[in-house]
Structures are given as C-alpha cells and as structure tokens.
C-alpha cells in the first residue's frame, strides 16, 4: 500500500471538492484504486485467473471481484489494510483524509459520525503504514542538486526548574530538511557529536548535496566528506551576508514541538494503572475482560493495547526469534 503521508496528501482534493469523491461508491472506488488504497487488479486464489470487477447491489461496497473461470468471488478490499473493516468505504476515506490533513481526534469527532474508538484505531493503523513505508522506502535528501539541505539539533522535553527533578526529562533531536520539497527527517540522538551526527547525514543526504548549518563543531568535516557546506554564526546573526541561513529547519522545530504538545493531552494514567495494563496485555486478556477487572476506561485500554502491539512488533523486527539455538531443544514443523 502507498504511504498515506505526503504523496497522497499532495494529490488530495481541497475540502470543497472532497464531497464529490466520497458522495458515491462510483467515485470512491476509482479514487482509492488510483491512489493505491485498493488493488486495481486481482488474481483468483483458486485457479490463478485474472478476476473481473462486477457490480453487486446486495453488498455494501457495491462491487466485487469475480473469476470468469471458476466463478469464485472476492471483496474489493482484499489485500488492503481495509480488508477486515466493517466501516463503509466512505467513512474509511474520511479517516484517510482527516489523517492526511493532520486533524486531531477530537476535531474528527466534531466533523464526522465515526466513533471515537474507530478514529483512534485507524489513526494508529495509518501511523504504522506510514512508518513501514518510510522504513521500506527511506527518504534521500539532496538527490535533486537544486535543493538545499538545512540541518540542526534541538532539545525536546520538559524544562526542570532550578535543575530539580528525576529521570530523563529532555531529549536531543537531529533534524534535516530539504528546501523546496516537503522532505523532512527527524531523529532522536543520545549525543550531538560528530561520531553520532555524521553517519546520519551520510545515510540520508546524497553525496555532493549543498548543506547549510550553524557553526556547531560536529559539522566541521562535511566538506571533506563530499558535501558543499556553508554556515551561519547564530551568535552574531540569523542570516549570513551570503544568504546562508537555517530558517526552515528552525521553523520545523516549532511545528514539531507544537504537534507533540497537542498530542499529549491533559490527563495521564497513574503508573499503577499503566502497570495493570502491561500485566493484562502480557497474560493475553481481551479488552472486555480488562474492563471487568479494572477501572481504566475503554478508550485507554484500546489505545495502550495498540501501543503495546506496536512495541512487540518492533521488538520482533529488530530482534527476530531463532529456533534451535539451544541444542537441547527439539523443533517440530508441520
């Protein structure tokens, strides 16, 4: 499936024209197929023949795939992230659109008749799809020689009054933005030294690209690494006399921090309840079972269980299971 982020948003109609897309099945299905949300072609799982798209008045989607050879039928949602959903395509496309224009969940609820739980679940699913898309097809900045790259670091987190407080309350983030496009890369880093930042730049920026930065010492060897590097001394000026600046990445920091602040909300679950959820998830309880045992809200259980699933998936991806590593253990296959 195609990334639900920038590429789709660039082609998304304005709100005033959006009704024409979602007003009927005849307009929704072609739009979804053109944008990679549904398959344009389908192969029969029984006889491997090419299937045809046929009208059906007695099903909610109004269309289905049908094999001309063995007459097997299949949903038009097959092999898409919407395959198991019971929501109408109109509501699913509403969610895609609202996610694409970066609305908050409470804003979606004001504009739509889609339930709070469904909005949360689908927004989480869209984030997973975007993450997988960026992992499988990483962004390379500076591949167009006309585009300039700005780089910078910024401190995120809670400021401690009089340096008091426990735990890690701030985080350094390294950012790169390609001017003239909508490509941005932000990455959490433990340190801001050359050993940490240089590999990130080399991995994500095309060799020979033009890079603007401040005078941070970690960037001093960029010229030697094959980049065209210019700096601006922020202790003296915001913009160098030759026009060098980092205004765009500075603007990105403001937007990113505002976005994070808006997503945090005002209420936080106590650690006791969070540990309850970890325990219930670990022993594989269903959501309705958790609600019987705990005073945690239905929405919170859904949100945290979904977050735990993401963490488990990432853990298995980064550290896959190897069977038989202990010679005393027997492996059975079937």
More reliable by pLDDT, 133 or 320: 133
Output the CA–CA distances (angstroms, integers) from residue 235 to 231, 232, 240, 242, 252, in the order listed. 12, 9, 11, 16, 20
The whole-number pLDDT of residue 72 equals 94
Q: How far is CA 254 from the centre of its chain?
A: 19
- Which of 35-44, 94-103, 159-168, 306-315 is most confident? 35-44
Q: Is the pLDDT of residue 244 over 80?
A: yes
**C-alpha span between 238 and 84 (Å, rounded):** 53
Strands 228-231 and 170-178: unpaired
Q: Which residue has the higher pLDDT, 288 or 160?
A: 288
Q: End-to-end CA distance of the chain, in Å?
A: 31
Beta bridge partners of 211: 149, 229
pLDDT at position 137: 84
Sign of CA dihedral 107, 112, 117, 122: negative
For 268-279, write each residue's pLDDT tens digit: 677 777 777 887
pLDDT tens-digit profile of 130-156?
888 888 888 899 988 788 999 999 988
Give me the torsion for CA of 214, 220, 226, 231, rounded to 10°: 30
| Rg value, the chain, Cα | 25
> DSSP strand E in the chain: where?
52-55, 63-66, 73-75, 148-157, 170-178, 184-189, 210-213, 228-231
Q: pTM of the entire structure?
A: 0.64
**pLDDT per position as a tens digit, 47-104:** 999 999 999 888 888 899 999 999 999 999 999 999 999 999 999 998 998 888 888 8
What tokens were used for 254? Answer: 């403001």
Supply φ then ψ for residue 110, to 5 degrees.
-70, -30
Q: How many CA atoms lie within 13 A of 269 on its CB side?
A: 17
More confident residue, 264 or 200: 200
| pLDDT over 90, % of the chain | 33
> Using CA atoms, how far apart are residues 110 and 14, in angstroms rounded to an integer?
19
Mean pLDDT along residues 102-129: 87
**What is the per-residue pLDDT for 3?**
42
Question: Does residue 329 register a pLDDT over 70?
Answer: yes
Tens-digit pLDDT profile for residues 184-195: 999 889 899 999
pLDDT value, residue 4 = 44
Share above pLDDT 70 across residues of the chain, in percent, rounded to a whole number: 87
Q: Are 293 and 192 in contact (CB under 8 A)?
A: no
Judged against a pLDDT cut of 90, whether residue 159 lies above it is answered with: no
Residue 61 or residue 310, greater confidence: 61
Report the run of H or E that residue 317 belongs to, with start and end.
helix 298-318
Greater model confidence, 30 or 272: 30
Does residue 23 register a pLDDT over 80?
A: no
Q: pLDDT grade, residue 15 (50/70/90)?
A: low
∠ CA 234-236-238, nearest 5°, is 50
What's the mean per-residue pLDDT of the chain?
83
**What pLDDT does 139 receive?**
85
180 contact partners, CB below 8 Å, separation of at least 6 = 144, 146, 147, 148
Q: Which helix (H) or strand (E) holds 241?
A: none
Distance CA 301, CA 307 (A): 10
Three-state DSSP class for residue 325: coil
């Amino acid at each position: 499936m195609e990334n639900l982020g920038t590429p789709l948003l660039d082609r998304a109609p304005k709100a005033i024209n959006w009704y024409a897309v979602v007003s009927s099945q005849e307009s929704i299905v072609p739009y979804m197929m053109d944008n990679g949300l549904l398959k344009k072609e389908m192969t029969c799982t029984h006889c491997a023949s090419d299937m045809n798209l046929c009208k059906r008045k007695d099903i909610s989607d109004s269309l289905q795939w049908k094999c001309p050879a063995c007459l097997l039928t299949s949903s038009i949602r097959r092999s898409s992230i919407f395959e198991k959903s019971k929501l109408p395509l109109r509501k699913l496309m509403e969610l895609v659109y609202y996610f694409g224009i970066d609305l908050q969940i409470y804003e979606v609820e004001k504009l739509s008749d889609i339930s709070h739980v469904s909005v949360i679940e689908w927004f989480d699913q869209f984030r997973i799809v975007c993450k997988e898309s960026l992992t499988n097809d990483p962004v390379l900045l500076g591949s167009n020689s006309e585009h300039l790259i700005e780089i910078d670091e910024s401190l995120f987190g809670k400021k401690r009054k009089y340096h008091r407080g426990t735990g890690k309350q701030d985080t350094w983030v390294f950012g790169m933005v390609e001017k003239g496009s909508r490509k941005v890369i932000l990455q959490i880093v433990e340190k801001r030294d050359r050993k940490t930042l240089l590999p990130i730049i080399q991995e994500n920026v095309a060799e020979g690209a033009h890079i603007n930065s401040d005078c941070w010492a970690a960037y001093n060897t960029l010229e030697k690494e094959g980049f065209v590097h210019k700096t601006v001394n922020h202790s003296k000026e915001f913009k160098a006399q030759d026009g060098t600046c980092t205004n765009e990445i500075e603007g990105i920091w403001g937007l990113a921090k505002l976005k994070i602040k808006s997503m945090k909300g005002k209420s936080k679950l106590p650690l006791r309840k969070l540990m309850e959820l970890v325990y219930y998830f670990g022993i594989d309880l269903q959501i309705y079972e958790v609600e019987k045992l705990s005073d945690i809200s239905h929405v919170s259980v859904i949100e945290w269980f979904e977050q735990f699933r993401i963490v488990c998936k990432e853990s298995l991806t980064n550290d896959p299971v190897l069977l038989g590593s202990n010679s005393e253990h027997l492996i059975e296959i079937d």
